[in-house]
Amino acid sequence: MITGIVEFFENLPPKLCSNCGKPIEEQHECYGNTCFTCIGLKDLD
């Protein structure tokens, strides 16, 4: 069961940020196509 879920997510195309173009690792439907860094919710290292 768990393996099937993992495969499902791995098969999803990478979601790219509409602002910086980087892949969005932490997907959240509320934030659309913008990554957390661009939104300002996640500080850069």
Residue 18 interacts with Zn ion (CB under 5 A)?
Answer: no
d(CA 13, CA 45): 26
Please count the helices (runs of H) and the strands (runs of E) in the chain.
Answer: 2, 0
Q: Considering only the stretches 6-14, 16-24, 25-33, report the one whose residues sit in contact with Zn ion under the rule CB under 5 A.
A: 16-24
How distant, in Å, are the alpha carbons of 11, 13, 21 from that of 1? 16, 21, 33
Q: 19 or 32: whose CB is closer to Zn ion?
A: 19
Residue 38 interacts with Zn ion (CB under 5 A)?
Answer: yes
Residue 20 interacts with Zn ion (CB under 5 A)?
Answer: yes
# residues near Zn ion by CB under 5 A: 5
